Amino acid sequence: MKLGCRKYCQQTLLGLLLLLPNVETAKARPLIACGHPFYPPVSWVSNGQLTGLAPKVTQQIFAELGQQVILSAESNWKRCLLEVQQGNADIVVAAYRIARRERYLNYSNQHMISDIVTLFVNRENPIHFQQLEDLQGKTVGLLLGDSFGDNFDRFVQQNSPIEYVSRGQQNFQKLALGRIDYMPLGQLSGQLQSRKLGFYQHITALQKVITTEYYYLAVGKNSGLQQYLPAVNRRLREMHRDGTIRRLTKQFSQQYIDDPHINDS
């Protein structure tokens, strides 16, 4: 009886030991994160690397939680969201919380950065805008995967001709040439891009704000990372309180302006 128990216990222990490397490998697997490639200072692609406030904060927070995050810059914004939806990537470093994305993303409760959204127009041919109805029939330029809140998205889909592009500079070029009437964009991001890409003299932002949205860190529902969100929330709140987010916003705004390797041709 004792010999049988000993043999059984030895076999059980051996089985557990054989499983341990797999457990360690799973824990050590780097997490894959992607983000918007054309939205400074939140995130952008430079010299083949995803950079900006959101990638920096995401890597820092998960490093503190004992997790390595690899930043992917191999896809456009729409593809980034699809990769997380399909389970090929784990984290979106920063995204608006909108209804259709909540089917496959779990968001932090604490936002990473607020985003005042306005309309950018051609300086020589500005449009009148006081309410959404003023945009009816106007041609809008959107980046694939872009959203500016459920209300605005719904109105545009129902009332405006839409021209989609895959790269941020394309919309600036089309607006400067008068091929589209306007493009919605975060005020700070639009100003930075207009200045960096050389369109400042041709393009301006209207004063009317269409919405204030918020960028949140989000994890895919297939990622198994939901357990980390309470810690992510606590850390993001601390970063707002101690001025880290404000400092990084300023730092990465200047870094984008000084960046010699903007991957946006």
Same domain for 108 and 235: yes
In a domain, 87, yes or no: yes
Greatest pairwise CA separation for the chain in angstroms = 94
Residue 22 is which amino acid? N
Same domain for 229 and 171: no
In degrees, to the nearest 5, what angle opens at C-alpha 68 toward C-alphas 231 and 43? 80
Tokens of 92: 């979106």
Work out the pLDDT band at 182, boundaries 50, 70, 90.
very high
In a domain, 5, yes or no: no
pTM for this model (two decimals): 0.84
Write the DSSP symbol of residue 228. G
In a domain, 6, yes or no: no
Residue 97 is which amino acid? R
Tokens of 245: 């987010």
Work out the pLDDT band at 264, boundaries 50, 70, 90.
very low
**E strand or H helix that includes residue 113:** strand 113-122
Tokens of 105: 């993303």
Q: Which domain holds residue 250?
A: 13-17+23-113+214-258
pLDDT-above-70 percentage for the chain: 88
Tokens of 46: 């430079």
In a domain, 68, yes or no: yes
pLDDT digit string, tens, across residues 79-114: 999 999 999 999 999 999 999 999 999 999 999 999
**172: three-class secondary structure by DSSP:** helix
Tokens of 11: 């076999």
pLDDT digit string, tens, across residues 3-55: 344 444 444 444 444 444 443 333 458 999 999 999 999 999 999 999 999 99
> What pLDDT is attached to residue 80?
95
> Across-strand partners of 220?
105
In a domain, 229, yes or no: yes
Tokens of 256: 């984008």
Same domain for 169 and 148: yes
**E strand or H helix that includes residue 117:** strand 113-122
Query: How many domains in the chain?
Result: 2
Same domain for 104 and 224: yes
Span 59-87, mean pLDDT? Answer: 95
CB atoms within 10 A of CB 86: 11
- CA 210 to chain centroid: 20
Same domain for 74 and 40: yes
CATH number of the domain encompassing residue 97: 3.40.190.10
